[in-house]
A and B are shown apart, each in its own frame.
Chain A
Amino acid sequence: MDPAEAEFLAEKELVTVIPNFSLDRIYLIGGDLGPFNPGLPVEVPLWLAVNLKQRQKCRLIPPEWMDAEKLEEIRDQERKEDTFTPMPNPYYMELTKLLLNYASDSIPKADEIRTLVKDTWDTRIAKLRLSADSFVRQQEAHAKLDNLTLMEINTTGTFLTQALDHMYKLRTNLQPGESAQSQDF
Chain B
Amino acid sequence: MERMKHEKSYTICGLAWHPKGGQIAYTDTEGNLGLLENVCNRDGKKSSGKVSSAVTKDYNDLFDEDDDFLNTDLIEPRSSPKVVSNEEDDDDDDLMLASGHPRHRGAIIEDDENSLDTALMKVNSNLEKDDDNDQDGSIPVLPVSTTQRPFYDGPVPTPQQKPFQSGSTPSHLTHHFMVWNSIGIIRCYNDEQDNAIDVEFHDTSIHHATHLPNSLNHTMADLSSEAILLACESTEELASKLHCVHFSSWDSNKEWTVDMPKDEDIEAICLGQGWAACATSAMLTRVFTIGGLQKEIFSLPGPVVSMAGHGEQLVVIYHRGTGFDGDQCLGVQLIELGKKKRQVLHGDLLPLTRKSYLMWVGFSAEGTPCYVDSEGIVKMLNRGLGNTWLPVCDTREYCKGKSDHYWVIGIHENPQQLRCIPCKGARFPPTLPRPAVAILSFKLPYCQITTEKGQMEEQFWRSVVFHNHLDYLSKNGYEYDENAKNEAAKEQQELLMKLFALSCKLEREFRCVELADFMTQNAVNLAIKYASRSRKLILAQRLSEMAVEKATEMAAPEEDDDEEDDFRNHLNAGYSNSTTEWSQPRVRNLLHEQDLEDSKETNAVEEVEEMPEMQKFRQNPFCKTVGLPEMSTPKSAVITSSSQGRVNPFKVSANQKDSTAHSANILDNMSKFSKNTPTPNSRAVNKQKSPVIKPLIPKPKSKQALAATFFQPRPPHAGDKTVEEKEEKAENILPEIQAAATENKRPKTGFQMWLEENRESILADNPDLEEADIIKEGMSRFRVLSSDERMVWTEKAKGGAASNSAEAKKRKRPADAKNEGKEKLKEKSEEDSSLPKKRKPLDPSTNVRLSAFAFKQS
The residues of A with any CB-CB pair to B shorter than 8 Å are: 16, 18, 20-22, 38-41, 59, 61, 106, 108
Contact = CB atoms under 8 A, between A and B. Distances in A.
Contact of B205 (A16, A18, A21): A21
A39 B204 contact: no
A61 B439 contact: no
Given A39-B182, A40-B419, A18 B437 contact: yes
25 contacts: A16-B436, A18-B202, A18-B436, A18-B437, A20-B201, A20-B204, A21-B204, A21-B205, A22-B203, A38-B201, A39-B182, A39-B184, A39-B202, A39-B203, A40-B202, A40-B419, A40-B437, A40-B439, A41-B436, A41-B437, A41-B438, A59-B434, A61-B436, A106-B434, A108-B433
A40 to B, nearest CB: 6
Given A39-B182, A40-B419, A21 B203 contact: yes
Interface string B392-428: 0000000000000000000000000001000000000
A20 B205 CA distance: 8
A22 B204 CA distance: 9
B437 A20 contact: no
Contacts of B205: 21-22
Contacts of B184: 39
A106 B438 CA distance: 17
Contacts of A108: 433
A39 B437 contact: yes
Interface string B191-216: 00000000001111100000000000
A108 B431 CA distance: 13
Contact of B203 (A16, A38, A59, A106): A38
* 9 shortest interchain CB distances as A-B pairs: A39-B202, A38-B203, A38-B202, A20-B204, A108-B433, A61-B436, A22-B203, A41-B437, A41-B436
Nearest to B206: A38
Nearest to B409: A39
A132 to B, nearest CB: 41
Given A40-B202, A59-B434, 12 more contacts: A16-B436, A20-B201, A21-B204, A38-B201, A39-B182, A39-B184, A40-B419, A41-B436, A41-B437, A41-B438, A61-B436, A108-B433
Interface in B160-203: 182, 184, 201-203
Contacts, number: 33
Contacts of A20: 201-204
Contacts of A38: 201-204
Nearest to B203: A38
Interface residues of B, number: 14
Contacts of B437: 18, 39-41
A39 B437 CA distance: 8
Contacts of B436: 16, 18, 41, 61
Nearest to A108: B433
A16 B184 CA distance: 19
A39 B204 CA distance: 10
Contacts of A61: 436
Contacts of B201: 20, 38
Contacts of A18: 202, 436-437
A20 B201 CA distance: 8
Contacts of B438: 41
B379 to A, nearest CB: 23
Contacts of B439: 40
Interface in B415-458: 419, 433-434, 436-439
A39 B203 CA distance: 7
B182 to A, nearest CB: 7
Contacts of B182: 39
A41 B420 CA distance: 11
A20 B434 CA distance: 15
B204 to A, nearest CB: 4
A104 to B, nearest CB: 13
Residue of B201, B203, B439 with most partner-chain A CB within 10 A = B203
Nearest to A39: B202
B41 to A, nearest CB: 69
A18 B435 CA distance: 11
A61 B437 CA distance: 10
Best-buried of A16, A39, A106, A108 by chain B (most CB within 10 Å): A39
B199 to A, nearest CB: 13
A28 to B, nearest CB: 21
Give the interface centre of B202, B419, B438 by most chain A CB atoms within 10 Å: B202
A20 B184 CA distance: 10
Nearest to A16: B436
A21 B205 CA distance: 7
Contacts of B202: 18, 20, 38-40
A39 B181 CA distance: 10
A34 to B, nearest CB: 13
Nearest to A59: B434
Nearest to B432: A108
Contacts of B434: 59, 106
Nearest to A40: B437
B304 to A, nearest CB: 28
Contacts of B433: 108
A20 B185 CA distance: 12
A13 B216 CA distance: 48
B224 to A, nearest CB: 14
Nearest to A36: B203
Nearest to B436: A61
A41 B417 CA distance: 13
A39 B365 CA distance: 14
Contacts of A106: 434
A119 B731 CA distance: 86
A99 B201 CA distance: 23
A103 B205 CA distance: 21
Interface string B325-359: 00000000000000000000000000000000000
B369 to A, nearest CB: 21
A169 B378 CA distance: 74
A96 B437 CA distance: 23
B185 to A, nearest CB: 8
Contacts of B419: 40
A181 B260 CA distance: 111
Contacts of A22: 203, 205
* Residue in A40, A59, A61, A106 whose Cβ sees the most chain B Cβ within 10 Å: A40
